[in-house]
Amino acid sequence: MGTSQYDAVIIGAGACGLMCAVQAGFLGKRVLLLEKNDKVGAKILISGGGRCNYTNLYCAAENFISQNPHFIKSALAAWTVDDSLQFFETYGITGHEKTLGQLFPTTNNAKDIVQVFIDLCQQLQQTIVLNATLTGINKTQDIFTVNYQVNGKNESTQTQNLVIASGGLPIAKMGATDFGLKIAKQFGLAITHTAPALVPLTITGKALDWYANLSGNSVYAQVSNGNISFEENILFTHWGLSGPAILQISSYLQPGEIFTINLLPKQHIKTLIENERKVNGKKLLSNYLTQFYTRKFVDALCDILPIEKNLASLSNADLLTIDNFIHHFLVTPAGNKGYDKAEVMRGGVCTQELSSKTLESKKVKGLYFGGECVDVTGWLGGYNFQWAWASGYVIAQNL
């Protein structure tokens, strides 16, 4: 087993690890980047359907979930959205805003984002080892010994700085593991409870009949629980609910928590019907509703609303039923689709264990954690990438 010296060893060549390697290189530091997969940036490549929503123009601390909501402020100030834009523009990637501040490369190709890091790591002579399986990490005095296997061959290296950027639990087929959490536990760091986040919700029982009939239908809606609300599309599926608004609210739901869907958030259905029936009383409710929803969606309401009545004959009780359903549709999820369908992991290495300014462990000198394995979870729409870039940058400055 050969032993070599690096300024840092980074575990995980995802968004955080790659940014950390590059920024360390800019400062003249040499790093060894160990990646379990056979390519770098595996999760970047599949994000946003392969188009990579690489930041969000409106990114702020309020867009993140953490036991300590203030923890992320320092990193977001050290590496801002403007810094992300400038960094990628310097290397030929300009962004275009899709919706709600979500920024995608104008090429719509996640490979272009990954290529920036591959090229820079080569230029800066940073060492990347692919297909690396970690077999053990230990520390004596100020030195970490990192043992790993590559193609069945045992390797070992030593370093004063160890960066854990190995991601979270979602998408095992992309090489996701609980490695970062295991290392934290090994060194006595506390873990905040983990769960799938930004994840589709499952529905069971009789309610599922209604959802399943609408599979593939998308509706613009507002979803809310007692604490927060999101307005975006929801998608009905044969097993429950998905779509941007559902993924967003999922990060805030406790198991079994009921939430509300407003299926017409910009208007008030009762007022609309009352006005319409003054001039068009003979119109069927089913025909009237097709200006807001697809015919398939309206037809699926036949067991719930009096859609075959004309507007003039709707009673006050009918109007109340319609109003309640459209604006206060209650959903009780049975569960969620789990880590394999989750965008990110909620929870992770407890923020109280880390310096918010350097992301170094307070207990273990030279041990850093960044990206998804930390208890910092962003909204859907580029926020988690911004945290990954920022945390990678901050760690690099402090190695």
**Two tokens at 348?**
């992770």
List b or e across 350-359, with b for residues whose CB sees 16 or more CB atoms inside 10 angstroms.
bbebbeeebb
Cα 250 to Cα 15, 126, 332, 353, distances in angstroms: 23, 39, 12, 26
Residue 276 — left, alpha, or beta (φ > 0 → left; ψ -120 to 50 → alpha)? alpha
* Burial of 46 (C-beta count, 10 Å sphere; 0-12/13-18/19+): middle
pLDDT of residue 164: 98
Sign of CA dihedral 385, 387, 392, 393: positive
pLDDT of residue 208: 81
pLDDT of residue 4: 57
- pLDDT, tens digit only, all 399 positions of the chain: 344 589 999 999 999 999 999 999 999 999 999 999 999 999 999 998 899 999 999 999 999 999 999 999 999 999 999 999 999 999 999 999 998 999 999 999 999 999 999 999 999 999 999 999 999 999 999 999 999 999 999 999 999 999 999 998 877 766 677 899 999 999 999 999 999 999 999 998 887 888 888 999 999 999 999 899 999 999 999 999 999 999 999 999 998 899 999 999 999 999 999 999 999 999 999 999 999 999 999 998 888 899 999 999 999 999 999 999 999 999 999 999 999 999 999 999 999 999 999 999 999 999 999 999 999 999 999 999 999 999 999 999 999
Q: Which residues contact 250 (CB under 8 A, 6 or more apart)?
A: 196, 197, 198, 199, 200, 201, 336
Q: H or E segment at 75?
A: helix 73-78
pLDDT of residue 3: 47
Nearest to 166 by CA among 209, 134, 204: 134
Distance CA 164, CA 278 (A): 66
pLDDT of residue 2: 42
Question: Could you tell me the domains of the chain?
Answer: 5-194+348-398 (3.50.50.60), 200-337 (2.40.30.10)
pLDDT of residue 322: 97
Q: Which residues are paired to 56 by β-bridges?
A: 102
Distance CA 390, CA 75 (A): 6
54 — phi, psi (to 5°)?
Answer: -85, -10
Residue 301 contacts residue 289 (beta carbons within 8 Å): yes
| The residue to which tokens 């990490």 are assigned | 137
- C-alpha angle 37-41-47 in degrees, rounded to nearest 5: 115
Q: Which residues contact 209 (CB under 8 A, 6 or more apart)?
A: none
Distance CA 160, CA 179 (A): 20
pLDDT of residue 265: 97
List b or e across 136-157, with b for residues whose CB sees 16 or more CB atoms inside 10 angstroms.
ebebeeeebbbebeeeeeebeb
Residue 390 contacts residue 398 (beta carbons within 8 Å): no
pLDDT of residue 1: 39
